[in-house]
Structure 1
Amino acid sequence: MRFFSFLILMALLSALLGCQTQPNSAMIELKDNWTFRQANKGNWMPATVPGTVHTDLMQNGKIPDPYFRMQEEEVQWVDKADWEYSCRFTIEEDFLKFEAITLECLGLDTYADVYLNGQLLILADNFFVAYEKEVKPLLKVGQNHLRIFFHSPITVGLQALSKHKYGLPATNDQSERGGLGDKKVSVFLRKPGYHFGWDWGPRLVTSGIYRPIRLMGWNKARLTDVYFQQDSLNDEKAKLTARCEVESLVEHEGLIEIFQGDTLLGMQEVAMLKGKNEFHIPLEIYAPIRWWTHDLGKPHLYKLTARLSYQRKPINELSRKIGLRTIKIVQTPDENKKGSSFYFELNGRPVFAKGANYIPNDMFIPRVSDERYQNLIQSTVDANMNMLRIWGGGFYENDIFYDLCNEQGVLVWQDFMFACSMYPGDPEFLRNVEEEAVYNVKRLRNHPCLAIWCGNNEIDVAWSQYNEFMGWGWKQLYTMAQRREIWQTYDTIFHKLLPTIVGAHHPGMFYWPSSPYNVPGRHANSHTPNGDIHYWGVWHSEHPFSAYYDNIGRFMSEYGFQSFPEFKTVKTYALPEDWNIESPVMAAHQRSGIGNLRIRSYMQQNYRVPANFEHFLYVGQLLQAEGIKMAIEAHRASMPYCMGSLYWQINDVWPVASWSGMDYYQRWKAMHYFIKKAFEPTITAALVRDGKLRLSVISDELGERAGELRLRLIDFNGETLWKKDTSIQMPQNTALHALELPLTEICDSNTAKKTVLLVDLYSQDHHISHSPVYLASAKVLELPTAPAIEKQVLPSEEGFLIRLRASQLAKNVFLDFGDEVDGFFSDNYFDLLPGELVEVVFKPKQKGVSLTAEGLKILSLGEAQ
């Protein structure tokens, strides 16, 4: 009984200290008692850590919310000031008994001097790395003081620009908005580029402590890293090497054991030298279960633990969840030698990459909750995507992002953090880049979701070194000597330094210098028969949506079209007097200068433009959805020539008009619902052009199957006017051009305005897919203007079941329960066909809400136009 009481007492003491203990070590996270102020000025105020200066100022009522209306302009002074953070914490005598105590700063943004009890410890200069320092001699029993001085990143950047003698291209750096004129300093700082503005985001240049700070106490030695390198994999056996890094305080003998649960996989006695050590331990796993993307199998994970022992007593361990899989990029020359394939092969199977580009979820990273990450990855999976590209203007994501992709079976295309800019090449900058790359490659290499390392976003094509008449006009702004210097730096970073680091620390992983990229010595364009392509003819060059069928590469890693968020979201940042797309507030929440009028221009070509603002937002979402749906169908219909379709972009950093499929509040736009259907395993894709209807059948499934296409032309009251059935052989993991008909065989041009063609695919009487196809533009459709829709709203286990039926066509039905109730619809913006019963599930975010049919708002295209 005394022993039991002793254990309880020790547990209580540990909790009071804020320590999480394991054998031979303890951790104290410094998350409480933080204050901050403008450096050497004003009163100290409460601060939240992790956090940012901007969010702390907002919480203390010192600045307005920069996301509301045009209040971003009122906070541009924040990045010109220096800031300091202070934390006083108590250390108990027992903690000081550890032989070593290290201070770990996992995320400092960005130029920070760290002082402990008055002693300068760290001079941080890179957002993307963690910092660690031995601090035991500086700690004392009782109260201690940690102070961090954050230098203005703008001041640091201006000094670096002055030293460099001339500026460098940084297309998206909104220096004018920040009061800097043409002085674009972002490229001189190792800090997220999007903080300085982008064509979908504000300019909010942050400072602060964005990841935890902690003290680690330990004795003798500790494992600091373990990488489970996969050497070979077949059905019988996986061979691995556990690359264990150990920091030791003294020279001594030890033992490292590797476990899977209670099963010992390998062990090795090691002779440790004082300081850093690395040991390689061979492992074997028999009858391995492979990790797959969620659409091809199960994303099986193994939890492996490395345990370090001293004198046969465990003193430290590290665990990692890994997946066993082979993944590579296949680049096989065509038979005609005009180009080469570019596709991901997972466990020997060619994979059509279905997904999106991903940007940070907020300008203020620490306020992105685990729930928001979970919702985003779940939305990725729910929309039948198997890949996300982490774009190079943000940051190397938090661990939870990769953990969720591992668990949910989503591949990750990982850019290094360079985008749409050229960079300095002085020795200090290159040293910083090397340190950053090594740190992040080692941090992320155990994740089975990681499929590729890419050097940068769009810089190769922007500069276009090998073609004087290509590029974004950058190189022509510089003297020939400057051009040589700028390109030499580019070549050093992206063709030498980064691939060397990937090869050394993540052996076997594919490295790609830039996105898009062609072959050495040539640059990508919209018809490149190699590598990947960013196609922006639709939007920037005002090509029609049908041009997606004419501009197809081996892997479409960027393309996109904008829309506004739904009205509920617009009302979070705009007042009624702002509800016009040309108002200053709506313009401020549109960072593509051509954006709002470009949406209107495309809408005029494809729809009747509503006068009502709310209806305009709704039709704008349909415009975006139809365009990107056509792009995805064009790419998938070109399998196996094209083997990837990653649209721009899945998410937003603030409430804004942008290319996103989900808005800042993670509300699915029409596009995300359309993408879910366009990325289903087997679909039909219809192209109506040049007086013809072309139907393709596209399948990700293995094994050919007999199938049948059933075509029915109905009017908007449900009467069948024409039908045709066609037997086909459904393809295996590719596309089949199944049918081509002149439109005159189906109906005349006048009838096309009043009808819809229903395309249904069957296999052995099993219904595979259903798609409504319109043979005339939405602009000329004679839609019912007030279709009578019967509606029921019933409580269900998942939330509420909505049942809908209409006697006439209701095109693009949008469901909403109003501003007071938020939640998720299992389907939305769909076509409700005459006589069809449709059931939709609604999951409210609020608990205990009572919903009725009377509270359900329904809008359809016929009403909006």
Structure 2
Amino acid sequence: MNVRNLIIVLTTIIFMSVLACDSKKSNKKIQTELDKDWFFRQSGATEWLSATVPGTVHTDLMAHGKIEDPFYRLNEHDVQWIDKADWEYKTTFTADEDLLARDKIELDFKGLDTYADVFVNGKQVLEADNMFREWTADMKDAIREGENELLIILRSPIVEGIKKYDAQGYEIPVSDNDLAEIGQVEDGKKVSVYTRKAGYHFGWDWGPRLVTSGIWRPVYIRAWDLAKIENLQIVQNDVTEELAAFTAVFEITALENQTATLFVKSDSLQLASSQVQLKAGTNKYSVDFQIENPKLWWTNGLGDPHLYNISANVKIEDLNLAETTRIGIRTLELVREEDEDGKSFYFKLNGHPVFMKGANYIPNDVFLPRVSDENYQKVVETARQSNCNMLRIWGGGIYENDIFYDLCDEAGILLWQDFMFACAMFPGDEAFLDNVKQEAVDNVKRLRNHPSIALWCGNNEILAAWKGWGWEKAERAKSEENADKIWQSYVDIFHKVLPDVVKEYDPQRSYWGSSPSSGLGIPADLVNGDEHYWGVWWGKEPFETYATHLARFMSEYGFQSFPEMASVEKYALPEDYDIFSEVMKSHQRSSIGNGTIEYYMNQEYNTPKDFESFLYVNHVLQAEGIKFGLEGHRRAMPYCMGSLYWQINDVWPVASWSSTDYYQKWKALQYYVKKGFEPVLVSPYIDGAKFRVGIVNDRLQPVNAELYLRLMDFDGQVIWEEASLVEIPANSSDDYFDVNRWEFTYRKSLQNLVFSAELRENGEIISKNNFYFRPYKELRVPTPKIEYALEKDDDGYTIDLKTDKLAKNIYLQIGNEEGFFSDNYFDLLPMESVGIHLKTNISEARLNEVLTIRTLESAF
């Protein structure tokens, strides 16, 4: 071999070796979570303390005993200094030769709260200013082989907010939920609107003012070569019984022009592939695919919420990039059609109008990183068990963690997703609008593959505040020019920026400008859109008006209660056990709260004998009141097609409108919701001079059943009864008993009568409901003799109960032991028996020690 040929061979060998090394390098993606060895301090302090990431300053200070639990008694008021300070977090990480060899090395922050300056080895790589966005920083030029330091300076959201407040030139209207006075903010300035941060952190009428800072979601080091998949969108194009057609949209960042093959699979089945020419930069590439004989995704109660696992791969030579997602195949539309009453507002799922039953949902804690997967599982399971098919993610909280949406996908629960704006006007400068746009893009792209997402809504109650609460009038009285600027900012955000993002990134879903409203910029009017009804509570209107104040979709209504005694004991002392004590008033953020609870209680009940009895009666009061709304809204179908009560959960232990407390214990209301949202509901009610029994059938098939109606006294003597066969059409609401109320009850002593309605299908009770003709305080309720027997099973006990006389609102408790009753706060009629399941790990001997059974007459 001559020298020339030898050189060629050697050159070829070296070149192929380099290619092999590059290929090996290119096939390795590095992802490391930075969740250990963090330290924090107040800026200017000398001592660094260990920190938890993800976490918050408040929880880190608590962990070191620097502050007391802000939820306990009045401690919240002693920690308001924290949000006025800057805080620093630091950690170190090691960069080896392999990491440094990657083409791109990034820091990926899933959530920074909120004003954050990020430094790597003293070099600033990022400045963040939005809690709701994901932030990525290129740090390849800042790191070195060996140990590296990551430092994050979290600037005070209050100090930053005051700067923007002072620079604004005029005051932007903000509701009283910004508790600046409690927050000890300079001159009471309400600065929450200037920072893209969860509004409820600044206080709300059910939450404390604890303005957090921290690294609230995970942070990763990501290193990669050649290309990466930025996002995978699955667009549903068409669905028939035989075939579902989709487009997978790959968003890929490539460092250079190159050839790639795109693959789409469902589980192990390859559905499609396509060869494409990647262009340098970030671009989108589409691959069409089909799924044969698709299984549809249905909401809770209507069918199986079937999910498909979709995996997408990008192959570039030996580099294989992968991304996975889940989809549900379903059609869903918000139907807005003119009718004889106005304009409809309902959701049609897989071709069927569906009445939305559910609740409003707020974050599960003030300190968000404390919310565990188990917390999420409990709240979603509570909604599922309670026959809900929709939750509304309220606009003063957060765009929730991925697990929450995954769980709702699996449970068949649709989500009304607010963008994060509530009860305030907002700035409209270019920087703010651009920040909002990027926030919306981030979250729409993150969430759009979830079948549970039903609707994007611009804001909570801002249109109502401007047009209906007097804000516009007040601002125009001060300055027409400034009022115009404030309204223009609203238009820019909610009529332009947000709907444009939805149109571009998720065009198959509807956008609704504000809740409540009747259309874009049109205030709510009961006949054209959704409604928040607060005449009960704020207006002190009677509970019965829940059933008569009707809109096309009731998206908010509610009534308050305190937590149960075992929960109160966790944040208060015995000397606090009075609703007007300083501690109880501090754990009540509605300006009219405790007095309003007392006002309504006095309408329906006598004065409870002690504090614990007050809590019990308060739970029954809340549940019986909301029952008018749950049932009245459903009976009004199809005029009204949604009932979302306020609210399912709490952010701290407090008197609020929740149906489960901060510790996720069911109140009476949650048990009433479970019954009120049953797929088939029998509902006795008074309508003027009429007494009627309505039946609602949410099933997509007709129901043939037996309707049993009885009028009986509290000792069990039947005064009147009637039985009939009823055929209830699919997806319908109608009356099946209709009499003159006065003739029906003529010469009867209504103080000791109960009307019982039962609906039986194939001999099984599918719905049961009792009706009383007088408020409880006018009833002559006897003291019942209740007997019970226990039977052990795999996960607890069945408690068989029977009574000789009416047992009103039976309340089962097991002290401070852990357990869950399948039913509670229920009525048991004379000579009837019922089996209640208690899920618990305690022994039978212990259960007999701690089990108590209360009825309502014992509370007075």
**TM-score class normalised by the smaller sequence:** over 0.9
**Which moves more between the two structures, 828-837 or 362-371?**
828-837
Paired letter, 1:761: L
Aligned to 1:67: 71
The equivalent of 2:650 in structure 1 is 652
Partner residue in 1 for 2:510: 510
Correspondences of 1:253-272 after superposition (within 5 Å): 253-272=259-278
What do the CA deviations read for 1:419-446 (whole angstroms, capped 9, x no partner)? Answer: 0000011111011011101111111101
1:425 aligned to 421, 428, 441, which one? 428
1:815 corresponding residue in structure 2 = 812
Equivalent pair of 2:364/2:662 in contact (CA under 8 Å): yes
Counterpart Cα distance in 2 of 1:647 and 1:749: 38
**Residue 323 (structure 2) pairs with residue 318 (structure 1):** yes
Equivalent residue letter for 1:798: D
Structure 1 pair 103/850, CA: closer, same or farther in 2 (3 Å)? farther
Unpaired runs of 5+ in structure 2?
Answer: 1-24
Q: Does 1:463 align with 2:466?
A: yes
1:608-633 deviations in Å (ceiling 9; x for gaps): 12131101111011111011111011
Give the whole-Å Cα distance in 2 for the aligned partners of 1:223 and 1:762: 55
1:522 & 1:136 partners in 2: Cα distance? 51
Task: Look up the equivalent residue of 2:592 and give its one-letter code.
Answer: I
Q: 2:836 aligns with which of 834, 840, 852?
A: 840
- Deviation digits for residues 110-158 of structure 1 (CA, Å, limit 9, x no counterpart): 0000001111010000000011122223222221110000000000000
| Equivalent residue, structure 1, for 2:823 | 827
Is 1:333 the equivalent of 2:338? Answer: yes
Residues in 2 aligned to 1:348 and 1:257: alpha-carbon distance in whole angstroms: 32
Moved more, 265-274 or 291-300: 265-274
Residue aligning to 2:291: 285
1:705 offset after TM fit, Å? 4.0
Counterpart contact for 1:26–1:216, Cα < 8 Å = yes
In structure 2, what is the equivalent of residue 12 of structure 1?
none
CA distance in 2, matches of 1:454, 1:110: 23
The alignment-based identity, stated in percent, is 47
| Contact 2:117/2:128, CA 8 A, preserved across alignment | yes
Match of 1:167 among 168, 171, 176: 171
* Alpha-carbon displacement from aligned partner over 1:202-239 (angstroms, at most 9, x marks no partner): 00000000001110121221112110111111112111
Q: What is the aligned partner in structure 2 of residue 43 from structure 1?
A: 47
1: CA distance, partners of 2:542 / 2:750: 21
Q: 1:776: how far off?
A: 1.6
Following the alignment from structure 1 to structure 2, what is the Cα–Cα distance between the partners of residues 473 and 364?
A: 37
Deviations 1:523-577 (A, max 9, x none): 114xx20010111111110110111122100000001111111111111111000
Residue in 2 that maps onto 1:252 = 258
Q: Cα 1:473–1:719, aligned 2, differ >3 Å: closer, same or farther?
A: farther
Q: Hey, what does 2:482 align to over in structure 1?
A: 482
**1:321-359: per-residue Cα shift (whole Å, max 9, x none)?**
11111110111111x3x4011100011110100000000
Correspondence for 1:193 among 199, 215, 229: 199
C-alpha contact (below 8 Å) 1:461/1:471 kept by paired residues: no
Tell me which of 820, 832, 856 is aligned to 1:861: 856
Alpha-carbon distance in structure 2 between the residues aligned to 1:566 and 1:218: 53
Given the alignment of the two structures, is residue 404 of structure 1 paired with residue 407 of structure 2, yes or no? yes
| Aligned partner of residue 841 in structure 1, secondary structure | strand
Contact (CA 8 Å) 1:292, 1:300: kept in 2 or not? Answer: yes
State the SS of the aligned residue for 2:776.
coil
Structure 1 residue 285, shift from structure 2 partner? 1.4
Is the CA contact (8 Å cut-off) linking 1:753 and 1:780 kept in structure 2?
yes
Alpha-carbon separation, structure 2, partners of 1:153 and 1:136: 30
Q: Which moved more, 1:493-502 or 1:690-699?
A: 690-699
Q: Where in structure 2 are the equivalents of 1:9-408 lying within 5 Å?
A: 23-171=27-175, 172-180=177-185, 181-311=187-317, 313-334=318-339, 336=340, 338-408=341-411
Show CA shifts across 1:702-731 (max 9, x none).
333444422112222212122123444323
Name the CA shift for 1:228/1:155 in 2 (closer, same or farther; >3 Å): same
DSSP-derived class of the 1:822 partner? coil
Q: Residues 169 and 259 from structure 1, CA distance in 2 versus in 1: closer, same or farther, beyond 3 angstroms?
A: same
AA matched with 1:515: S
Count of matched residue positions in the alignment of Structure 1 and Structure 2 = 834
1:617 aligns with 2:623: no
**Distance (whole Å) between structure 2 residues aligned to residue 576 and residue 697 of structure 1:** 46
Matched to 1:858, the amino acid is: I
Choose which of 669, 682, 685 in structure 1 pairs with 2:683. Answer: 685
Aligned mates of 1:848, 1:431 — CA distance in 2? 60
Equivalent position of 2:418 in the other structure: 415
Q: State the alpha-carbon separation in 2 of the partners of residues 162 and 279 from structure 1.
A: 47
CA distance in 2 between counterparts of 1:829 and 1:51 reads 38
* Alignment match of 1:631 (pick from 620, 629, 632): 629
1:760 aligns to what? 758
- Greater CA drift, 470-479 or 135-144: 470-479
The one-letter code matched in structure 1 to 2:819 is G
Do 1:53 and 1:208's aligned partners in 2 also have CA atoms closer than 8 Å? yes
- Give the conservation status (yes or no) of the 8 Å contact 1:242–1:282: yes
Displacement of 1:822 in angstroms is 2.0
Task: Give a deviation string over 1:353-403, Cα, whole Å, max 9, x none.
Answer: 000000000000000000000000000000000000000000100000000
8 Å Cα contact 1:169/1:474 also seen in 2: no
Shift of 1:317: 0.3
Q: Indicate how the Cα distance of structure 1 residues 520 and 216 shifts in structure 2: closer, same or farther if over 3 A, else same.
A: closer
Asked whether 1:596 is paired with 2:594, we answer: yes
**Separation in 2, partners of 1:472, 1:731:** 47
Deviation larger for 294-303 or 391-400: 294-303
The CA distance in 2 between the partners of 1:692 and 1:851, in whole Å, is 50
SS in 2 for 1:623: helix
Deviation at 1:273, TM superposition (A): 2.2
User: 1:768 offset after TM fit, Å?
Assistant: 2.9
Identify the residue that residue 519 of structure 1 maps to in structure 2. Answer: 519
Kept in 2, the 8 Å contact 1:793–1:851? The answer is: no
Confirm whether residue 791 of structure 1 aligns to residue 795 of structure 2: no
Q: Distance in 1 between matches of 2:476 and 2:811?
A: 49
Measured in 2, the distance between the counterparts of 1:612 and 1:329 equals 49
Contact preservation (8 Å) 1:65, 1:71: yes
Secondary structure of the residue aligned to 2:342 is: coil
SS of the residue corresponding to residue 488 of structure 1 reads helix
Q: Tell me, in whole angstroms, the C-alpha distance in 2 between the residues paired with 1:543 and 1:471.
A: 24
How far the C-alpha of 1:521 sits from its partner, in A, is 5.5
Letter in 2 for 1:508: Q
2:538 maps to: 540
The answer to whether the Cα contact below 8 Å between 1:456 and 1:515 also exists between their aligned partners in 2 is: yes
Unaligned runs of 5+ in 1: 1-20
Residue 163 of structure 1 deviates from its aligned partner by: 0.8
Query: Structure 2 vs 1, CA of residues 261 and 415 (structure 1 numbering), >3 Å: closer, same or farther?
Result: same
Per-residue deviation at 1:291? 0.8
Given residue 458 of structure 1, which amino acid in structure 2 is its aligned partner?
E
1:184-214 CA-partner distances (Å, limit 9, x unpaired): 0000110000000000000000000000111
Displacement after TM superposition at 1:852 (Å): 2.9
